[in-house]
Structure 1
Amino acid sequence: MLFLQPPPTPPARDVAKPGVVATGQRTTPAGMQTVFAGRVGGVRFDSASRTVWVAVPGSVYRLDWNDGRIVSRQRFDGRPGVFGVAVDPPTGRALVTTVGRLADSVATNRLPGSAPLASRSSIAQLAAFEADTGAGRARTTSGAVGDFLAGAPAAARVPNASGRRVAVVPLPANDALAVLDADALTPIASVPLGVVPVAAALARDGSRAYVTNLGGAKPTAGQRAARQCCDPRAESVRIDARGIASPGSVTRVDVAARRVTRTLTVGRHPTAIAWDEARERLYVADGNDDAVHVIDTRADTVAAVIAVAPFRAARRIGLAPTALAIAPDGRTLYVALGGANAVAVYDVSGARASLRGLIPTGWYPSSLDASADGRWLAVGTLYGVGSGEGEVDGKRGGYVHAVRGSVHVVAVPNASELAAYTVAVAQNDGLPLATSVAPAEAAGPRAVAARPVPERPGEPSPIEHVVFIIRENRTYDQILGDLGRGDGDSSLVMYGRDVTPNAHALAEQFVTLDHFFASGGNSADGHQWLTQANETEYPMWPLYYGRSYPSEGNDPLAYSSGGFLWEAAQAKGKTVTIFGEYAPAPSDSVPSVRRELMADWDRHAADDPATRSRHFRTLLGTRYRTRSAIPSLDRALVREYPGWTQEVPDVVKAEVILDHLRGWTAAGKMPHLVMVILPSDHTVGTTPGWCVPKACVADNDLALGRIVEGLSRSPFWPKMAILVVEDDAQNGVDHVDGHRTVALAISPWAKRGVVDPTPYVQPSMVKTIELMLGLPALSVFDLTATDMRASFLAPDEKPDLTPYSAIVPRQSLSETNARVGAIIGPDAAARRRAALASSRMNFFTPDAAPSERLNAILWHDARGWKTPMPAVKRALFFPLSVDLDDDEREERRKP
């Protein structure tokens, strides 16, 4: 059964080995902490302040937070919804939204006014868990009321005029609000809403509900809009002139009449909502605007906007208000800041809100509750203490999806305690407080000597051209664990020197970056961090289940309001050329096309290099016409270079780049910023007819080597830097941390033959590019990231102009996986099973193949079918690859 979890690791007060906070920040959570396996979906105080309800994948816990004692644990199949816990006021039961496979014995409820459910494999329902039950399962459930995802439940305290007490659940994948009987949990009705409804607040008597719509109202004819990707049921989202999703909305619903009575525009990505009904004020957290809207519920108008800006630094997006709680007396508003790992405390007793201070939390707080007595604050975090480990035969390894969320309960601090907490948050985030002295860099650039990575934006650099190459899905140990220097583990190597000689040579000849960490866990995370130095809550939580998979520039709800790296370059008058990065995938990948192109590349191997490159550029130009709905990206795209696809070998893509390089050379002018996607190291598993995994990786490696060789022999090399990174680590094993990945810094101005052990994250690389090109920061993350200055020369050191020579891997690039019936010899049965499993996986979209199964296949293919794979504790984060079984993925791809 999908989502059925193995026995979970018991919650712990602390962990022996915290994982890396891959945003580059530190965390020092206040209060009493409890760590859980998986992301915390919601936390609410019980009727007694001493206990809290906590929802995590597969379980609902009632926790005595003071001594870490589990009062009860009740199970369900699947994962909790977003803000997935409410306490039913009259009964004390925990109402929990859950998403999992529907048992055959449970009815599928088609609510009046709703569309048919799309799936029986990933359904949303509401379950009630009794406070006096020590173990077991929910006694009362609603049955299926929606698909793929559920939002925040809310229940009325008293019956309405008809004598019925109601509950509501937003359904993000169905764009609807489910109305249910709060006692029996029987569905009553469905009310259509806007795009991605997430959170709801319900009047005491259930007469009115207010619901946030992340994407606002549905677009009407003539409005600027862009379609979400990857699913026949995907819809259009309103966008602004930059291609970013327009501000969201709050919908008022007459619950008894089951109709929308008013819609208010608020900020971008309204996520959480909190209603102070007694004082007739509604608070809405705008996650992609760093603001909180205040709505007067008497007139249903926007009364104020609280700008979340606790720091002195020039305001940048990324603090990400994710959750809200109101003190019982209504005088204090608590705002969880997912991007700052903090809770902001606001005094809202007067006409204008004022910031009292900040409370430090675990990694990415996303749920909040204030106790009824006003003395305590409960905080639930998505990532908590970072990723954990697995073990087999005494061998341990880190995995990015072994998430360990946390809950910590904090005594509401007095003024002096809050002042100390506030200083801790500022130090953790590397940002000066608004009350502090302005930092020196606020004065702007100085007249100083040029250096490869300037200290301040706008200061001179000898580097005028940056080539930013993004590859796919490998950990450091999988590739460079055998490098012989730096912090590697050769027992975890899968694609060593025979397969990746260029990655090895470049890491040896230039800088070995052995502590570089991908900030996200999959492609929907990584490409956002690398293009925007930020990730909105839509892919981070994630909120895209049943709608899209925003791995590339194919969903406006994934775009940060801070904008894109190429957009910042264009605004500064820099020229930009982009080879496929962040462009939507052209189509389903076809193995025969890859084989034909690979054979064609082999046939032309002896041709004059210029003739060969021109041939492939012309050939791809007849097949692809790459476009983007993001205007700034579309202007920079190379039309004949496809977006993410496996059907074009990376060495063929390299020919297109080299042909453009010849054109730049002839013109005597090269773009300031060049971005490239090289995805073949993703592999296609052991799918028959496709490249064997080692050939896919070798193709990627040789393409990288040839591109670097061409660039280093061009006239632009003396003023160039090439920065290379993986978009994520794909849940592969690494002995340091599951986020650690392969990164390279290549330039005449880079240090040679040294190890740089500085901990870097993906925003570090983005910041380094910005400093080289004189660009402003896009978010708080690149603003505060550690730049890569330690990998480059000092101002008084001379560049080494020695060019690079590509190395041909010993592994054949043309080797393909055999047909299932042709697999014979040792371990044939296991190899056939792997081939069949791979053939059912969806490789047309990044990460649509199930990561754990794919990684097991790749491990055994590389290391031997009898070599035990380092075990991973069950990956409790469900990306698209795990959320759906293969049959359902195929069903979703049908028009």
Structure 2
Amino acid sequence: MNQYITPLAPSGSRFEPLNPGLSDKPDWLAGQAVTAVKSPDGKTLLVLTSGYNRVYTSTPSSPYPWYTPDSNEYVFIYDISSGTPVKKQVVQIPNSYNGIVFDPSGKAFYVSGGVSDNVHVFTRIADGAWGEVDAPLALGHNSTGNGLPWNANFGNGSINLQIGVKPCAAGVAISGDGKTLVVTNYYNDSITVFRGGLNNWMPAAELDLRPGKSGGTKGVAGGEYPFWVAVKGNESDGTATAYVSSIRDREIVVVRLNGAPAVTGRIKVVGQPNKMTLNKDQSLLYVVEDQTDTVDVIRTADNAIVGTIPVIAPASVLPASLAELRGANPNSVTLSPDEKRLFVTNGNLNSVAVVDLNDTRASGAVVGLIPTGWYPNSVSISADGNWLYVINGKSATGANPDFRYSYGPPSRPNGFLTNHYNPQLTKAGLQSFPLPAAAQLPPLTAQVISNNRFSYADGAKDREVMSVLQANVKHVIFIIKENRTYDQILGDLEVGNGDPALAEFGERYTPNQHAVARTFVTLDNFYDTAEVSNDGWAWTTSGRAPDVVERQYAVAYAGRGLSLDTEGTNRSVNVAYATLAERRAANPLTPDDDDLLPGQTDVAAPDGPGNEVNKGYLWDAALRKGLSVRNYGFFLDTTRYNVPLAAGGIALLKDPASVNVQVAYPSSAALAPCTDIYFRGFDNSFPDYYRFKEWEREFDAYETDGNLPSLSLVRFMHDHTGNFNTAIDGVNTPEIQQADNDYAVGLLLEKISKSPKYKDNTLIFVIEDDSQDGGDHVDSHRSIAFVAGAYVKRGALVSSHYNTVNFLRTIEEVLGLQPMNLNDALARPMTDIFTTAPAPWSFTAKPAPILYGTTLPPFVGLSPLSKTAKVPKPTHDAKYWAKVTKGMDFSSEDKFNFARYNRVLWKGLMGERPYPAKPTGKNLRHNRKELLSRYTVALN
């Protein structure tokens, strides 16, 4: 991100990791702290985690192999009576999703159980500690949420698809008299109400918040993705009212709780409403909103919005160039005890915004910023108003030498399992410090501004380079691939900081990517900003991940429910289509329900400049400028690819255009008119070679007509690997699929290089959406990236620190696009890789020899070297891989049984070869010839 983090900047600040004190792993630390709440007497602070938090062991256990009994979420309990937090206890629950609240009596607290579909009740037990005496309060959704409720096994269990979604208990709140408890059902679009009070809770009602299910008009969006809840009033006097934040539909749903619960109002907001807090007399509700980077102030007497407070930074320090841009990811809000100040966590800016409220308490302005840890999620203030407590969800991960095919347990170097995988390496923290005095706020604000590079401006040299490119480059081809690190692909390259011992898919499988690096620029200090594919597609296409994505991805990857929503489908429902009829025509698996996520709002999509809803992607920026866009494989609904034809599946057609059969159904309303409907999306059964051929079919027409789009989006995904039992044309082992992906990239570059019309005015950008699938001796986020074209340097090693956001900024600059958000606006373009004088270039695709063993058209009956040469064989055949991956769901990236698959792949590819037990962090740019020679000898 090119940001700096300074949590010790506030005077007297302490920063501590969250160590649950596991008896068998005393050094293990928890990640993804999401919510902190203070007890009514102000003496106790609770910190809840909600994310990955899987702890692995070398001994398999059921039902989750390699998970230990400590693979839970945690509530850390601190004594804050003296200001400085003192950890007193840690309790565990199986799952959670952000919700936690104290009983008004202070004798209990309640935690929502996420996918467990319940609420845990903790009370004081005999020894004075906190514990669960009774079973959790069940919410009763029978493992079903509102989405595509479809789970099936095909092929005698060889294909296991889990498209349907499960419930998720999220926010939880309680009335002032302790008699009414309300839980938001995040994936059931409802709330559950309990009555009775502590030790006597009984389920009273469940209320569906959607208009069509609560007495309103069917097919109207409302109440979906209910996340947070605040309760005003009491059951005892008939005033109990719930305010529920609907993230997808951007409204606060007002619910009367007394008697039969009923929706009495809907307060529309511009941003995505997140956490909320009421003032003491409950006359004002403060709602923090992502996407708009604001806090709305709602007067509860008439539910009117009486103020909107921008929270990025004080107006005096925010450059005018950033005024219309968003991306702070504000996600929590709390009031000072005297109610004169509001404190807001800005997740993406690693800071707390201090808001000074005016005399009417209905509006205010940011007067300062306080630096925090990475991605703060919650802020609390002591009862006397003298101490602040800020919890954050992320940490730097550092080097990752161990092989990571996908999320899940690590490899087994030296016979034991470690925990080296991005979501698992990401740890949480608790920051505590005395409340800064007014005089301390200006320097702290300046520190936050510096940390986030708000004063950044391109240098003269950068502007010169980019102006030349803007004047001469008219076309960009943007290729996104899947999940590889630098060492995994280029570790065996003769230049650069690569470790050949980690080159799982080195030159013998990726000759074209090696050739691109040699011919143009080797970027050996490039980092993927994302942790995994779920947030990876958000970062790689828009330069940011909204808070809803940041909250969901770690939970989903831990197998704790939730869906992968960042490519246009929400809960596997394709919301790109405006009507139910259109949805069912595109996907017959769609339930016949007008109230299932109606409308075209995508909950995970970023907004564009000026609060343009869901218009924050690269292609939106291009379309705003009036440029032409063509989409090959981005944001498609792929749920039908892996189901039988009789159940609505889409056949594996090698040339669907020739028979006029649509195989690509867009899941982005903006991309729909630009999408090639014959370009198959994510499907491991289908070779990238045929994706290239479909792209080539259209390119040949552009060559003739002279109308190549300004921006082409191309997805070559087969380096992900999978579906070994159904993969066609013998492209059915990990090595062969990787080689197929590499060849497709090479063929596209060759095609452009041979085009007299486009070779000199086109740049090809190639990137991985994330780096989660491999080890790297420098950093677990280091990855490969390539740029090719007439204005790219030749044979250069460029070790400038670049990342995904720099990559996007470069594409924007080449095409003359305006920034999409704060991140790309403050990123330097990758000018070190370019030259202002174009040079002739050529590229010839070279297939990896292992491809000659397939039945892909270019290789049938041919030998890789000569008539007598033997085709290299993969480590194991498709039958082996199908057997050892039986039951795994490869229907989407990162959706399969990650724990088992990682171990299976390691054993199948690497055998007993050990990996380094710990990261080296060495600079391996020197003496490459000797290093590679030693590695070759070791292999032989």
TM exceeding 0.5: yes
Task: Tell me if 1:575 matches 2:628.
Answer: yes
Give 1:709's aligned amino acid: E
CA distance in 1, matches of 2:106, 2:651: 66
* Structure 1 contact 280–298 (Cα < 8 Å) conserved: yes
Matches for 1:653-668 after TM superposition, within 5 Å: 653-668=691-706
Give 1:532's aligned amino acid: S
CA distance in 2, matches of 1:557, 1:766: 22
Task: Tell me if 1:323 matches 2:332.
Answer: yes
Matches for 1:177-196 after TM superposition, within 5 Å: 177-180=191-194, 181-184=196-199, 185-193=201-209, 194-196=223-225
The residue aligned with 1:152 is 171
CA distance in 1, matches of 2:399, 2:197: 38
Task: Tell me if 1:430 matches 2:453.
Answer: yes
Task: Tell me if 1:727 matches 2:740.
Answer: no
Matches for 1:700-779 after TM superposition, within 5 Å: 700-715=741-756, 716-779=758-821
- After superposition, the Cα gap between the structure-2 partners of 1:477 and 1:850, relative to the gap in structure 1 and judged at 3 Å, is farther
- After superposition, the Cα gap between the structure-2 partners of 1:169 and 1:386, relative to the gap in structure 1 and judged at 3 Å, is farther
* Structure 2 contact 354–367 (Cα < 8 Å) conserved: yes
* Structure 2 contact 397–779 (Cα < 8 Å) conserved: no
Task: Tell me if 1:400 matches 2:422.
Answer: yes
The residue aligned with 2:262 is 259
The residue aligned with 1:505 is 515
* From 341, 347, 370, the counterpart of 1:359: 370
* Structure 2 contact 310–365 (Cα < 8 Å) conserved: no
- After superposition, the Cα gap between the structure-2 partners of 1:650 and 1:51, relative to the gap in structure 1 and judged at 3 Å, is same
CA distance in 2, matches of 1:397, 1:303: 49
Give 2:204's aligned amino acid: I
SS class of match (2:33): coil
Task: Tell me if 1:270 matches 2:286.
Answer: no
Give 1:98's aligned amino acid: G
Give 1:400's aligned amino acid: N
Task: Tell me if 1:863 matches 2:916.
Answer: no
Q: How far did 1:50 drift?
A: 6.6
Task: Tell me if 1:340 matches 2:353.
Answer: no
Give 1:678's aligned amino acid: F
CA distance in 2, matches of 1:645, 1:173: 27
* Structure 1 contact 518–726 (Cα < 8 Å) conserved: yes
SS class of match (1:557): coil
SS class of match (1:717): coil
- Once the two structures are superposed, what CA deviation does each residue of 1:36-72 show, in whole Å capped at 9, x if it has no partner? 3221132223467675322225222213577775311
The residue aligned with 1:682 is 720
CA distance in 2, matches of 1:124, 1:834: 38
The residue aligned with 2:293 is 290
Task: Tell me if 1:561 matches 2:607.
Answer: yes
Q: How far did 1:834 drift?
A: 6.2
Q: How far did 1:530 drift?
A: 2.0
Give 1:411's aligned amino acid: P
- Once the two structures are superposed, what CA deviation does each residue of 1:645-668 show, in whole Å capped at 9, x if it has no partner? 223310111112222222222123
CA distance in 2, matches of 1:131, 1:429: 46
Q: How far did 1:549 drift?
A: 2.0
Q: How far did 1:279 drift?
A: 5.6
The residue aligned with 1:812 is 851
**Any gaps of 5 or more consecutive residues in structure 2?**
19-29, 54-71, 142-165, 210-222, 403-412, 571-601, 609-614, 856-872, 920-940
CA distance in 2, matches of 1:736, 1:133: 48
The residue aligned with 2:113 is 98
Give 2:633's aligned amino acid: G
Q: How far did 1:625 drift?
A: 4.6
CA distance in 2, matches of 1:773, 1:623: 33
* Structure 1 contact 213–251 (Cα < 8 Å) conserved: no
CA distance in 2, matches of 1:49, 1:645: 54
The residue aligned with 2:473 is 463
SS class of match (1:839): coil
- Once the two structures are superposed, what CA deviation does each residue of 1:578-625 show, in whole Å capped at 9, x if it has no partner? 1111222262237999xxx99998xxxxxxxxxxxxxx4634x63325
- After superposition, the Cα gap between the structure-2 partners of 1:155 and 1:599, relative to the gap in structure 1 and judged at 3 Å, is closer
* Structure 2 contact 635–667 (Cα < 8 Å) conserved: no
Task: Tell me if 1:26 matches 2:22.
Answer: no
The residue aligned with 2:232 is 203
SS class of match (1:775): coil
SS class of match (2:620): helix
* Structure 1 contact 35–407 (Cα < 8 Å) conserved: yes
SS class of match (2:89): strand
- TM-score, scaled to structure 1: 0.77
- Once the two structures are superposed, what CA deviation does each residue of 1:313-343 show, in whole Å capped at 9, x if it has no partner? 2321211211111111111111111121111
* From 378, 384, 387, the counterpart of 1:373: 384
SS class of match (1:26): coil
Q: How far did 1:748 drift?
A: 1.8
* Structure 2 contact 124–130 (Cα < 8 Å) conserved: no
Q: How far did 1:704 drift?
A: 0.4
SS class of match (1:401): helix
* Structure 1 contact 511–756 (Cα < 8 Å) conserved: yes
- After superposition, the Cα gap between the structure-2 partners of 1:582 and 1:47, relative to the gap in structure 1 and judged at 3 Å, is same
* From 355, 358, 362, the counterpart of 1:349: 358
The residue aligned with 2:540 is 530
- After superposition, the Cα gap between the structure-2 partners of 1:486 and 1:131, relative to the gap in structure 1 and judged at 3 Å, is farther
CA distance in 1, matches of 2:833, 2:531: 25
**Any gaps of 5 or more consecutive residues in structure 1?**
1-22, 101-121, 160-164, 217-245, 433-438, 602-615, 817-824, 874-895
CA distance in 2, matches of 1:429, 1:54: 27
Q: How far did 1:150 drift?
A: 2.3
Give 2:240's aligned amino acid: R
Give 1:183's aligned amino acid: L
- After superposition, the Cα gap between the structure-2 partners of 1:321 and 1:496, relative to the gap in structure 1 and judged at 3 Å, is same
Task: Tell me if 1:35 matches 2:88.
Answer: no
- After superposition, the Cα gap between the structure-2 partners of 1:440 and 1:536, relative to the gap in structure 1 and judged at 3 Å, is closer
SS class of match (2:749): helix
CA distance in 2, matches of 1:388, 1:142: 40
Give 1:94's aligned amino acid: F
Give 2:750's aligned amino acid: E
The residue aligned with 2:528 is 518
CA distance in 2, matches of 1:178, 1:698: 52
* From 430, 434, 458, the counterpart of 1:411: 434
Give 2:701's aligned amino acid: G
Q: How far did 1:719 drift?
A: 1.6
The residue aligned with 2:897 is 850
SS class of match (1:261): strand
Task: Tell me if 1:643 matches 2:681.
Answer: yes
Task: Tell me if 1:307 matches 2:310.
Answer: yes
- Once the two structures are superposed, what CA deviation does each residue of 1:98-151 show, in whole Å capped at 9, x if it has no partner? 236xxxxxxxxxxxxxxxxxxxxx433333254986878533443331554222
* Structure 2 contact 351–448 (Cα < 8 Å) conserved: yes
CA distance in 1, matches of 2:125, 2:357: 33
CA distance in 1, matches of 2:906, 2:645: 25
Q: How far did 1:506 drift?
A: 1.1
- After superposition, the Cα gap between the structure-2 partners of 1:139 and 1:418, relative to the gap in structure 1 and judged at 3 Å, is farther
SS class of match (2:641): coil
The residue aligned with 1:109 is none
Give 2:198's aligned amino acid: D
Q: How far did 1:742 drift?
A: 1.7
- After superposition, the Cα gap between the structure-2 partners of 1:546 and 1:68, relative to the gap in structure 1 and judged at 3 Å, is closer
